[in-house]
Amino acid sequence: MGLVSGTGLADFGNQVTCCDIVSEKIDLLKQGEIPIYEPGLKELVDRNVQSGRLSFSSDIESSIRNSEVIFIAVGTPMGANGEADLKAVEAVAKTVAQNLDSYKIICTKSTVPVGTGARLHAIITEHAPQGAEFDIVSNPEFLREGSAVKDFLIPDRVVLGVSSEKAEKIMKDVYRPLFINETPMVITNIPSAEMIKYASNAFLAVKISFINEMANLSDKVGADIHTIAKAMGQDGRISPKFLHPGPGYGGSCFPKDTEALVHTGKKHGVKFQVVAAAIKANHAQRNVILEKAKELLPDMKGKRVAVLGLAFKANTDDVRDTPAYEIIKGLRAAGAEVRAYDPIAAANMKSFFFEDLQTFESVNETVKASDLVIVLTPWNELRGLDLEELKANMASPNVVDARNILSVDQLKALGFNYRNVGRSKV
């Protein structure tokens, strides 16, 4: 989020310095290497570095003193009890305060719970020189991993939570190209801006859990969840987005943001029953996929299972809260030999979770002599699998398509034993 936002702001004509305390990241960026996988990002970085609008530095203090607007874009991971961990945000605020030599805007891009703006104002006031002038702004991001560059450059809306006309004017200037293009600008107070991000993510998480539960019922009664979702999406009040059944949501946002919202609600005496239920349903959905696998392969001991897709979604190498983690754990607990493939995320999966996981460079190597294949990430290359070749490479033609990306008609015609999500009896 920080690198995409900083580079995007440079593309809007601003002079931007991207900073990090991890000097290795900065060194990589200075060498023209991108430390994350995000389509289109390298081209955007290269263009703005060459134009002289974008630079990288690990000298945080100097960068603060030389800037007019400081965006805080550090992580806010989930704490032990579900609340957002704001240690990194608060550390940045203290560093900014200690280098506040002129009026500056301190803008939170990080996803932070409501009330954080006031908290940062208190921290900076405490640690800044007496009489220092500054404004806090909340400018939440709405970037989807895999399409973050497009989402930043062509957003649905820009949300600015401000507390002064001066800050509003400066922030509009920062986003001037979007303002000129009449991109919707939501100008509001800081608590409302902080809430908008959590409300948006929580609502989308609820949609995903809802359609998964509808899919689970469809499996039992012979209904087709694709037809159901399409008809629902044609209702203008609902829209078709995020009505795609599967193994549940994951990644860096929805899991932690829903938990943080529920925790914030408890703190203020508000019970988030709908969001809490979505969280519970999402955890259960991983087990739904495991049960489908066990229906096809009741005795997994010593059997070879190929897992295709490890990232929580396509077009990213992010494995945070990926459904693949719990599903691989469950397969191993049942005694299966797990082999895995992902075009981008395999190294991260081994680094973060399963050092001994067998990963391969191609689908054919991965599925060789397998008794079961489970498709978990909707990569384009998996959508186009040659099912005849897949069957020829397998020991037994058992497939769990957890993303509904394979042709049911072809699976039937080729004699596969298959399960998918909400279409198994269609």
Statement: residue 426 has pLDDT above 70:
no
CB atoms within 10 A of CB 115: 15
pLDDT (mean) for 9-34? 93
Q: Report pLDDT digits (tens) over 122-153.
A: 999 999 999 899 999 999 999 988 899 999 99
What are 228-278's pLDDT values in tens digits?
999 999 999 999 999 999 999 998 889 999 999 999 999 999 999 999 999
Q: In what order do the strands lie in the sheet with 158-161?
A: 69-72, 104-108, 134-138, 158-161, 185-188
User: Which residues, other chains included, contact 63 with Cβ-Cβ below 8 Å and sequence gap of 6+?
Assistant: 17, 19, 57
The yes-or-no verdict on residue 81 having pLDDT over 90 is: no
User: Are the CB atoms for 211 and 227 separated by under 8 Å?
Assistant: no
Q: Give the model's pLDDT for residue 308.
A: 98
How many residues are there in the chain? 426
Question: Angle at CA 380, nearest 5°, toward 347 and 369?
Answer: 65
**Bridge partner list, 71:** 107
Catalytic residue, candidates 18, 19, 107, 253: 253
User: Higher-confidence residue: 354 or 167?
Assistant: 167
Supply the pTM of this predicted model: 0.91
With CA atoms as reference, report the closest residue to 36 among 153, 197, 148, 201.
Answer: 148
CB atoms within 10 A of CB 163: 16
377-410: per-residue pLDDT in tens?
999 999 999 999 999 999 999 999 999 999 999 9
The residues with which 138 forms a beta bridge, in sequence order, are 108, 161
* Three-state secondary structure call for residue 16: strand
- Six-digit token string for 423: 């279409």
Q: Confidence band (pLDDT; 50, 70, 90) for 78?
A: confident
Position 186 scores a pLDDT of 95
Q: Comparing 352 with 5, which gets the higher pLDDT?
A: 5
pLDDT of residue 303: 96
Return the pLDDT at 395.
96
Give the span between the Cα atoms of 141 and 107, in whole angstroms.
Answer: 11
pLDDT for 79 beyond 90:
no
148 vs 71, 129, 253, 389, CA distance in Å?
A: 17, 37, 13, 35
Location of structure tokens 């703190």: 267
Q: What is the mean pLDDT of the chain?
A: 94
The owner of tokens 């397969």 is: 331
pLDDT for res 323: 96
pLDDT exceeds cutoff 80 at 424: no
Percent of the chain at pLDDT exceeding 90: 91
* 215-420 shares the fold of 2-188: yes
Q: Residue for token digits 């970085």? A: 45
Residue 362: exposure state from Cβ atoms within 10 A (0-12, 13-18, ≥19): exposed
Q: DSSP secondary structure string, 376-408?
A: -S--HHHHT--HHHHHHH-SS-EEEETT--S-H
pLDDT of residue 145: 87
User: What's the confidence (pLDDT) of residue 83?
Assistant: 87
Give 215-420's CATH code, choosing from 3.40.50.720, 3.40.190.10, 3.20.20.70, 3.40.800.10.
3.40.50.720
Segments making up each domain of the chain, as ranges: 2-188, 215-420
Task: Determine what percent of the chain falls in helix, strand and coil, rounding each to the nearest 5.
Answer: 45, 15, 40
Does residue 19 have an active-site annotation? no
Work out the average pLDDT over 218-223.
94
In this structure, whether the domain defined by 2-188 belongs to CATH 3.50.50.60 is answered with: no
Q: Coil, strand or helix: which one is 31?
A: coil
Query: Are 78 and 84 a contacting pair, CB within 8 Å?
Result: yes
